[in-house]
Structure 1
Amino acid sequence: MSTTFLQIHPEDNILVALQELRQGHPITFNGDTFPLTAKISAKHKFALKDFKPEDPILMYGNLIGKATTFIAKGETITIENVVHASSDYSVGKQQSEWIAPDVSKWKDRTFIGYHRADGSVGTANHWLVIPMVFCENRNVNVLRDALLDSLGYSTSKEYLVDAEVLVSKYKAGASKEELMAATIIKTPEEIKENRTFPNVDGIKFLTHDGGCGCDRGDSDTLCNLLAGYITNPNVAGATILSLGCQNAQVKILTDAIAKRDPNFSKPLHILEQQKSKSERHFMEDAVKQTFLGLIEANKVKRESAPLSKLTLGLECGGSDGFSGISANPALGYTSDLLVALGGATVLAEFPELNGVEQELINRCETAENAEKFATLMRAYSDRAIAIGSGFENNPSPGNIKDGLITDAMKSAGAAKKGGTSLVKDVLEYTEPVTKKGLNLLCTPGNDVESTTGLAGSGCNIIAFTTGLGTPTGNPVTPTIKISSNNALSERMKDIIDFNAGTIITGEDTIASKGEELLEYIIEVASGSIVPAAVRLDQNDFIPWKRGISL
């Protein structure tokens, strides 16, 4: 790899600047030398040939845009001279073979997880408190205030002031001097050590603004999503608070749970406020039943499990011009390794697959899945166009500023997270992962809506690449943040877990970084490493209302 620029695919007619290049800098490529017509910032692209208006712009070997004006060789590719364009696609002959990477060094590796009755294995052990409707959010917050500190789950705080120490000493007759000498500050480590239920990693509260006053389809979808969280292998059980009259009825939820797991046996405590004597009695029952549920959850301990029990969500957010050539392909290599080991991986964010549909269609193992993917993509695109917001509006201002100027360019890099393996299944939003191998899951490009969907479909760990940095996490699924560049890893070290920027600077290859990432994932899955999003209590949960969200 050149230290100054890169051609990603041999058919590309633009190059990527790997560092800032001055105006006039001579570029020598394939025996030709030409000067840059302007300063090119790192991560941005410049023309490898002269372009006339309407000429195709190729990157990753894909059509990612068309020239809108004359562009000279060596000129910067920008939103002023290029517009989004992508290739059409159709269902044809499916790819039937895939050459898997060598995974012999991991064939006997295991992780230490929580085994569930349905055969799945969790990488964490959480109890959920869930409202069926937004009317119950306040009561959920009362439960949060009642349980977190008293049971030792306020680990996101730098410290906790335990005034109960003073109260107990005062009642025992302590002197002023003894009270002043008492230790009342607890560190996060001390809080965790003193948890009432040491085998329960957390109590998570999934407040939302849905469940009623909306399209019935949205409330049904919400019930299916919540069923996905309750049956997620990282969840031990749940407390459900229902008002009673809402669209999102408890029976819809329990039917969705039974569909996912006909032999469902996790503790599930359902309380309906409109049947209670009073709010005081309702909340008293909720606290007591949750406490009893936590007793059961605490009986589960980590035990050895094969890597095939991992279901890895593949996510990106705050992407930059390096994401598609460092963090994303490294994660794609990890995905291929895990698939070869019998695990499952899940590629989401359908608006960020625009322009690479044909490649993914060809990789679908069956014509049925190829047709389902094509249908979902076209329906999503048509809905976006109908409200005047096509896929071309997906790149954010931050994406554009850092070199991702069209949706097809962004998508071609984002799809690299899915590696090269065959697509085993295509899932609608909230559908559970049931097949090993690579799955495609229909979610928006919105980071939190997408990670919310990944966990709801059963992912027990999420790998999240970023070039600009984001604090996004998930309540039940450990989320690993992977930086595309060294500068981000250094600047936001409090939220970045793993750095793929050394691929850009030449110290690592995509394969070596992908292998290193798999080792890191195994440690996180075993609880040996706690990723930043978990340490910082970044419990982002936004159900997707099935309108257009890019």
Structure 2
Amino acid sequence: MAERHTYLQIHPNDNVLVALTDLSAGTAVNFNGIDLVLVDNVAAKHKFSLHEFNTGDEIFMYGVLVGKASQYIPQGGVITTENIKHASSDFHLGERKITWQQPDVSKYQGKTFMGFHRADGSVGTGNYWLVIPLVFCENRNINVLKEALSAKLGFAKPRGYENEVDSLVEMYQTGKSVEDILNADLQMTPAQHPTRKLFPNIDGIKFLNHELGCGGTKTDSDALCGLLAGYITHPNVAGATVLSLGCQHAQAGILRDEIAKRDPNFNKPLVMLEQQQLGTESRLLHEALKQTFAGLMQANQQSRQPAPLSKLCIGLECGGSDGFSGISANPALGYLSDMLVAMGGSIILAEFPELCGVEQELSDRCVDIPTADKFMHLMRTYNARAEADGSGFYANPSPGNIRDGLITDAIKSAGAAKKGGSSPVAAVLDYPEKVSKPGLNLLCTPGSDVESTTAEVGSGANIVLFTTGLGTPTGNPIAPVVKLSTNTKLYNRMPDIIDVDCGTIIDGLETIPQAAERILNYVIEVASGNIQPKAVVLGQDDFIPWKRGVSL
């Protein structure tokens, strides 16, 4: 059990401390022989100065530059958006620093999960059929197929709010007032059980509507085809139905080329239909129904079999982050990441705007110079493009981030990068490239939660670990997304969307390695299909392709 403290210095070089609980002005603090008295009230998750700062003085957290004082800050003063501005160190090609201390994973030797083995050697944590439009013009037809297939085959997610609406309608019809309606105590009705699944070995049919495919740049449509190919070749996918209009930029031939690039021996059932070639909408939908049903019959023949943990490819994500993210849930994932890398598995660390300020460390950890050069080029190009459009990485923190202690992008980034642990960077990928090497992979994506999660899964993540300090209700259609709270208050307040509590680290109940092992054991159960994360139970099938412009 770790010891509970009321404040924390994250790195020996830091000149600010983090409040782990609400601290009142006048509180005496003694830290490493430094005596100070808090000048301001400091809310939990926020920072206060270990020394006084004059305008322009540099402020360090996690051992890196995270800002500069924009006005005088007294010793013991709270750090706010009014007295600090974003700043980060420049970066350059340095020496390779790829030696690392591997965690002891002996207790996991021989451990397996129950997954779906694919012909290309990958293993899925689920078995899904996809129905995809190549262009937004086909979204309506995709929705028609969803209405026709989901409920009849037993894949529809029950919502359970229809009875509540019936109650409101009855109140209205019996003359109840607006005030009566607003004060009504609606009781949640238990969800009705779905129809028994016709195909028990299939986890679901997923319909990936989007707004791209035509009307944009060729780069956008090519990237979309690459992303969709990543989903079709994904180990969690048994087969797919693709609807094309015919005249759009995102051509079926481009999609086939992208599939072959990712899996030259691709042999999954794949239905590709073009409306302008077939003629009537009715004919298109009839063919889609028949061929999809035949594909489902084939996909249902597969079943879960034991697989080594090295077949896990875990995407790391954070959203609705807070001032505890970088000291509880994120470093716990970092330790888990190192464990999986030591076992031969794959890790994806994305969200490049949230790596601002730690570029030097990550580039130094790249296994070779070309990999480091690629990472630095992508970071510089991305930020320059954002600045050209009147923004920049500095604008990444959201109002919620700022309210809960992440007041500069560099502070947010330094904590977010902790998810990547300490292992060497095996590869750097540009969206929508696919993971092809075990170890830590850096994937260029926005910091935007759903766009980044969508991209990580498209690159091969067969499970996603998502940390949040404020609460974020998102998921993915084909990869289970496990939500981890950075603080116990959130875990207790939003139990319907949070799976794992990492506030135990803040409360001194658990060390980071202990939390990491607990999370990994949970992941194994999720990967085996024994536990469904809340995002899966709720049917949070968020899918937003990144339109390659400025999205932070």
Normalising by structure 1, we get a TM-score of 0.94
Give the corresponding residue for 1:377.
379
In structure 1, what is the Cα distance between the partners aligned to 2:190 and 2:415?
42
Give the corresponding residue for 2:391.
389
Of residues 148-157 and 265-274 in structure 1, the stretch that sits farther from structure 2 once superposed is 148-157
Give the corresponding residue for 2:53.
51
Q: Give the share of equivalent positions with the same residue, in percent.
A: 62
Give the corresponding residue for 2:216.
214
Paired residue for 2:194, among 183, 191, 194?
Answer: 191
Is 1:154–1:188's contact at 8 Å kept on the other side of the alignment? no
- Listed as ranges, the matches of 1:76-91 within 5 Å are 76-91=78-93
Deviations 1:496-535 (A, max 9, x none): 0001001000000111001111101000000000000000
In structure 2, what is the Cα distance between the partners aligned to 1:206 and 1:279?
19
Is 2:225–2:255's contact at 8 Å kept on the other side of the alignment? yes
SS at match of 1:245: coil
Give the corresponding residue for 1:513.
515
Deviations 1:215-260 (A, max 9, x none): 0110000000000000010000000000000000000000000111
Paired residue for 2:244, among 196, 221, 242?
Answer: 242
Is 1:62–1:355's contact at 8 Å kept on the other side of the alignment? yes
Deviations 1:99-150 (A, max 9, x none): 2100000011000000001110000000000000000000000000001110
Amino acid at match of 2:342: A
Give the corresponding residue for 2:540.
538
In structure 2, what is the Cα distance between the partners aligned to 1:112 and 1:160?
36
Deviations 1:455-492 (A, max 9, x none): 10011000000000001100111000000000000000
In structure 2, what is the Cα distance between the partners aligned to 1:277 and 1:325?
58
In structure 1, what is the Cα distance between the partners aligned to 2:162 and 2:31?
60
Give the corresponding residue for 2:526.
524
User: How much does 1:3 deviate?
Assistant: 1.9
In structure 1, what is the Cα distance between the partners aligned to 2:137 and 2:131?
14
Give the corresponding residue for 2:433.
431
Deviations 1:26-77 (A, max 9, x none): 1111122211111110000000001011000000000000001110000000
Give the corresponding residue for 1:204.
206
How many residue pairs get aligned? The number is 525
User: How much does 1:207 deviate?
Assistant: 0.4
Is 1:156–1:535's contact at 8 Å kept on the other side of the alignment? no
Structure 2, unaligned runs of 5 or more: 164-188
SS at match of 1:150: coil
Paired residue for 1:494, among 490, 493, 496?
Answer: 496
Paired residue for 2:271, among 247, 269, 272?
Answer: 269
- Listed as ranges, the matches of 1:328-339 within 5 Å are 328-339=330-341
SS at match of 1:342: coil
SS at match of 2:259: helix
Give the corresponding residue for 1:403.
405
In structure 2, what is the Cα distance between the partners aligned to 1:11 and 1:239?
55
- What is the Cα-based RMSD across aligned positions, in Å? 1.3
In structure 2, what is the Cα distance between the partners aligned to 1:81 and 1:292?
64
User: How much does 1:276 deviate?
Assistant: 1.6
Structure 1, unaligned runs of 5 or more: 162-185
Give the corresponding residue for 1:124.
126
Amino acid at match of 2:194: I
Is 2:337–2:419's contact at 8 Å kept on the other side of the alignment? yes
In structure 1, what is the Cα distance between the partners aligned to 2:261 and 2:506?
46
- Listed as ranges, the matches of 1:336-355 within 5 Å are 336-355=338-357
Give the corresponding residue for 2:298.
296
Amino acid at match of 2:127: N
Is 2:98–2:423's contact at 8 Å kept on the other side of the alignment? no
Give the corresponding residue for 2:22.
20
Amino acid at match of 2:466: F
Is 2:98–2:364's contact at 8 Å kept on the other side of the alignment? no
Is 1:133–1:210's contact at 8 Å kept on the other side of the alignment? yes
Is 2:158–2:193's contact at 8 Å kept on the other side of the alignment? no
In structure 2, what is the Cα distance between the partners aligned to 1:101 and 1:189?
45
Give the corresponding residue for 1:167.
none
Normalising by structure 2, we get a TM-score of 0.94
Paired residue for 2:484, among 462, 478, 482?
Answer: 482
In structure 1, what is the Cα distance between the partners aligned to 2:420 and 2:101?
15
Give the corresponding residue for 1:467.
469
Deviations 1:248-296 (A, max 9, x none): 0000000000111110000000110001231111111111111111111
User: How much does 1:158 deviate?
Assistant: 3.3
Amino acid at match of 2:511: T
Deviations 1:361-405 (A, max 9, x none): 111111110000000000001001111101110000000000000
Paired residue for 1:145, among 144, 147, 159?
Answer: 147
In structure 2, what is the Cα distance between the partners aligned to 1:158 and 1:110?
36
In structure 1, what is the Cα distance between the partners aligned to 2:197 and 2:317?
32
In structure 2, what is the Cα distance between the partners aligned to 1:155 and 1:134?
24
Is 1:423–1:438's contact at 8 Å kept on the other side of the alignment? yes
SS at match of 2:150: helix
Is 2:4–2:506's contact at 8 Å kept on the other side of the alignment? no
Give the corresponding residue for 2:254.
252
In structure 2, what is the Cα distance between the partners aligned to 1:266 and 1:160?
38
Amino acid at match of 1:20: D
Give the corresponding residue for 2:174.
none
Deviations 1:404-431 (A, max 9, x none): 0000000000000000101000000010
Is 1:155–1:188's contact at 8 Å kept on the other side of the alignment? no
In structure 2, what is the Cα distance between the partners aligned to 1:49 and 1:80?
18
In structure 2, what is the Cα distance between the partners aligned to 1:479 and 1:130?
21
Amino acid at match of 2:96: Q
User: How much does 1:188 deviate?
Assistant: 6.3
In structure 2, what is the Cα distance between the partners aligned to 1:187 and 1:122?
31
Is 1:156–1:537's contact at 8 Å kept on the other side of the alignment? no
User: How much does 1:190 deviate?
Assistant: 4.3
In structure 1, what is the Cα distance between the partners aligned to 2:191 and 2:304?
22
Task: Give the ranges of 4+ consecutive aligned residues of structure 1 lying more than 2 Å apart after TM superposition.
Answer: 155-161, 186-192
Is 1:325–1:413's contact at 8 Å kept on the other side of the alignment? yes
In structure 1, what is the Cα distance between the partners aligned to 2:383 and 2:214?
27
Provide closer, same or farther for how the CA distance between residues 254 and 356 of structure 1 changes in structure 2, counting only shifts above 3 A. Answer: same
Is 1:473–1:534's contact at 8 Å kept on the other side of the alignment? yes
Give the corresponding residue for 1:175.
none
